[in-house]
Amino acid sequence: MNIGPFIPANRFFVAPMAGVTDRPFRQLCRRLGAGYAVSEMLSSKQDLWHTPKSLRRANHEGESGPIAVQIAGAQAPMMAQAAAYNIDQGAQIIDINMGCPAKKVCNQWAGSAIMQDEALALSIIEAVVAVCAPRAVPVTLKMRTGWCQAHKNAVVLARAAERAGVQMITVHGRTREQAYRGAAEYDTIAAVKAAVNVPVVANGDIDSPEKARTVLALTGADAVMIGRAAQGRPWLFREIAHFMATGQRLAPPLVAEVRQLALAHLLDHYALYGEFLGVRSARKHIGWYVASLPGGEEFRQRMNRIEDCELQLAAVTDYFAQLSQSMDRLPDAVPYDLAGRVEEKYMDTTA
């Protein structure tokens, strides 16, 4: 499959997750087998572009390409400006967010709310393509299956998006109304795949190599995209790649490898966020690394009180050193509680 002129390294993609898939985490996922990564969403509101948060999100230093930047907003001219601005900052692919369910997070009437107004959705897509096409920057779209159970319009929108020049469509198998509740369904993704010629990426509730294979088979999609299950488990991508290639499960990673990659991740994380924010925002990643490991919950609570990078690094080093006394490899992955991996603010579609 290709995204315009770009050919992803494989068909196992890491999903954009605001507050999670920052540059260090995207790079880590790519090193561990993700074939493609999209940035966390950037607002199309110009007055937010120079906040420390947006500047961090628009910083792609050292990131392997193609650099795909997701933009969110509900006004076509602003989205076009945001696309142009991000291309100037190094974006090689622009992804339009029509998937985020939370009004508060997605600037009131943005994200998946736009799916309810197909004319608006199309005007945004056309405006963004008009800016990107002359610069040979592909535009991609990430959306849900529809607005609510009674209004699943992903197929209609996908067709219109393709006609307007969108070059890849990712579908999360839930409606906006569902937020992250219930189970993802894949029939609508299969219908989208059957309706368009551009590559389609299936997303939602993929948490194991077996599930990735099942979703690829059910949908006929060109690729799968994985979000929550990669939290604290970035090696999931190489596990999926191995399973798809051989039909065999790869052994879980060595504790020593996880220690090394978690420490390298933390150093990259501090370098991007600085000490004060870095030590605090790293806690969730550390918590995910140790979730379901022996003593993990107790360690997470203790580690959450540490306010210094050096001490946090030392605590993580000690934790894995102790763990390696009782096991060489991580235990076989336990099923994920994906629902527990979503913050409240992403669940609230009315705020």
Ligand X SMILES: Cc1cc2nc3c(=O)[nH]c(=O)nc-3n(C[C@H](O)[C@H](O)[C@H](O)COP(=O)(O)O)c2cc1C
Annotated catalytic sites, by residue? 100
CA dist., res. 233 & res. 296, Å (int): 14
* Tokens describing residue 233: 């488990």
Which phi and psi (to 5°) does residue 36 adopt? -165, 145
Does position 18 interact with ligand X (CB under 6 A)? The reply is: yes
Does position 176 interact with ligand X (CB under 6 A)? The reply is: no
Does position 347 interact with ligand X (CB under 6 A)? The reply is: no
* Tokens describing residue 22: 């920052």
Asked whether 168 and 138 are in contact (CB, 8 A), the reply is yes
Compare residues 145 and 259 and give the one whose CB is closer to ligand X: 145
Does position 106 interact with ligand X (CB under 6 A)? The reply is: no
Does position 20 interact with ligand X (CB under 6 A)? The reply is: yes
Q: Which are the contacts of 267, defined by CB distance < 8 A and separation ≥ 6?
A: 313
Does position 346 interact with ligand X (CB under 6 A)? The reply is: yes
Compare residues 145 and 203 and give the one whose CB is closer to ligand X: 203
CA dist., res. 87 & res. 100, Å (int): 22
Does position 221 interact with ligand X (CB under 6 A)? The reply is: no
Closest contact distance (angstroms) between CB of 207 and ligand X is 7
Closest contact distance (angstroms) between CB of 248 and ligand X is 23
Does position 234 interact with ligand X (CB under 6 A)? The reply is: no
Q: How many CB atoms lie within 10 A of CB 260?
A: 14
CA dist., res. 97 & res. 150, Å (int): 22
Compare residues 19 and 295 and give the one whose CB is closer to ligand X: 19
Closest contact distance (angstroms) between CB of 240 and ligand X is 12
CA dist., res. 71 & res. 253, Å (int): 35
Compare residues 201 and 293 and give the one whose CB is closer to ligand X: 201
Site for ligand X in 56-95 (CB under 6 A): 70
Does position 124 interact with ligand X (CB under 6 A)? The reply is: no
Closest contact distance (angstroms) between CB of 346 and ligand X is 5
Sign of the CA dihedral running 121, 122, 123, 127: positive
CA dist., res. 14 & res. 8, Å (int): 12
CA dist., res. 73 & res. 44, Å (int): 5
Which listed residue (4, 204, 234, 278) binds ligand X by CB under 6 A? Answer: 204
Interaction site with ligand X (CB under 6 A): 15-20, 40-41, 70, 97, 99-100, 142, 172, 203-206, 226-229, 338, 341-343, 346
